[in-house]
């Protein structure tokens, strides 16, 4: 999916100039004059990053970051501030901001930050999609098949699995073949990876 940069700043000139700058790099831009209108328009599948002004009337930048994190929105955040407020920047970075830039920001710095943020977003998006795929594949397994899989990926031979579960060697072989088919795993190692990714703990 194409990345979009969301600019949330109450100053129309800042929104306009930054969007021109980012569009020059052929990156899509959407601008919002306040946090509330951005939250109302945001679609969860969007990928890219958000450039947020710290100082805004209504919900300010830091509060917006909090809302994004509460809603599990993975969009990386770049903060823009008028003057370098160190305690605030530390707090923002701890809360997961990608960068904390001081206005006026140079083209070079801004674009480096934006690219890094988009890259991080894509990485996170990929992780999430593989996880979701694995979860959906594993969800097709029956309880018995899941039991066989857990033993198989721990390296138990078919004979051991059969004895452990009190079923025949032949039945284990049939289960294993169904497991490989349902998960699309090429081999046992691949199956172990899928099982790991689909683990809700990860």
Partner 1 sequence: MTEELQDLSFLVLFNAAADAMLLVDSTGHVIHANSAAQLLLEYTEVELCSLEVEALMPFRYRQHHRQYRDFFYNKPEKRPMGYGRDLFALSRSGKEIAVDIGLSPIQTQKQLFTLITFYVAEKRYQAEQALRISEERLRLAKQAAGLGVFDFDSKHDVIHWDERMREIWGGDSSESISYEKFIDAIHPNDREARQAALERATDPAGNGEFNLEYRVINPKDKVEHWVATTGRMHFEEGYATRLIGVARDVTDRKIHEKKLQDERSETENIFKQQVAARTASAIAHELNQPLGAISAYSEVALHALQSGLVDRDKLKRALEGCVLQAQRAGRSLHELMAFLQKGELVTEKLDINKIVKEAVDITRGNGFGDFHTLLNLDPDMPAVLGNRVQVQKVLVNLLRNAVEAMRNANIPYSAITITARTNKDFNMAHVIVQDCGPGLDAETAKRIFEPFFTTKPTGIGMGLAISRALIEANGGQLWFEPTTNAGASFHFTLPFAP
Residues that bind partner 1 (CB under 8 A): 10-14, 16-18, 20-21, 23-24, 33-34, 55-57, 82-83, 103-107
> Half-sphere exposure (CA, 13 Å, Cβ side) for 54?
21
Find the shortest distance in angstroms from Cβ 125 to partner 1.
28
User: What CA–CA distance (Å, rounded) separates 184 from 187?
Assistant: 9
Of the pair 10, 30, the CB lying nearest partner 1 is at: 10
Of the pair 105, 117, the CB lying nearest partner 1 is at: 105
Find the shortest distance in angstroms from Cβ 121 to partner 1.
23
Find the shortest distance in angstroms from Cβ 98 to partner 1.
19
Of the pair 109, 170, the CB lying nearest partner 1 is at: 109
Of the pair 55, 131, the CB lying nearest partner 1 is at: 55
User: What CA–CA distance (Å, rounded) separates 160 from 24?
Assistant: 63
> Half-sphere exposure (CA, 13 Å, Cβ side) for 200?
3
Find the shortest distance in angstroms from Cβ 55 to partner 1.
7
Of the pair 4, 34, the CB lying nearest partner 1 is at: 34
Find the shortest distance in angstroms from Cβ 88 to partner 1.
13
Sheet with 48-53: strands ordered across: 28-32, 4-8, 48-53, 77-81, 99-102
Tokens 């809360």 correspond to what residue? 95
Find the shortest distance in angstroms from Cβ 82 to partner 1.
5
Of the pair 106, 200, the CB lying nearest partner 1 is at: 106
Q: How many CB atoms lie within 10 A of CB 8?
A: 25
């Amino acid at each position: 999916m194409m990345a979009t940069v969301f600019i949330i700043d109450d100053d129309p000139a800042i929104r306009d100039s930054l969007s021109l700058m980012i569009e020059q790099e052929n990156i899509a831009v959407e601008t919002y004059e306040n946090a509330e209108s951005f939250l109302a328009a945001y679609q969860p599948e969007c990928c890219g990053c958000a450039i947020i002004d710290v100082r805004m009337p209504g919900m300010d930048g830091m509060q917006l970051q909090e809302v994004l994190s509460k809603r599990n929105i993975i969009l990386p955040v770049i903060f823009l501030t008028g003057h370098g407020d160190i305690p605030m920047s530390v707090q923002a970075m701890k809360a997961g901001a990608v960068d904390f830039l001081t206005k006026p920001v140079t083209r070079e710095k801004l674009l480096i930050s934006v690219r890094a943020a988009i890259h991080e977003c894509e990485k996170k998006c990929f992780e999430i999609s593989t996880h979701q795929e694995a979860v959906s594949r594993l969800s097709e397994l029956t309880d018995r098949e899941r039991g066989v899989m857990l033993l198989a990926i721990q390296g138990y031979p078919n004979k051991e699995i059969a004895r452990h579960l009190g079923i025949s060697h032949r039945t284990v072989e049939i289960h294993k073949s169904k497991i490989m088919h349902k998960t699309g795993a090429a081999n046992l190692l691949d199956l172990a990876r899928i099982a790991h990714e689909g683990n809700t703990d990860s």
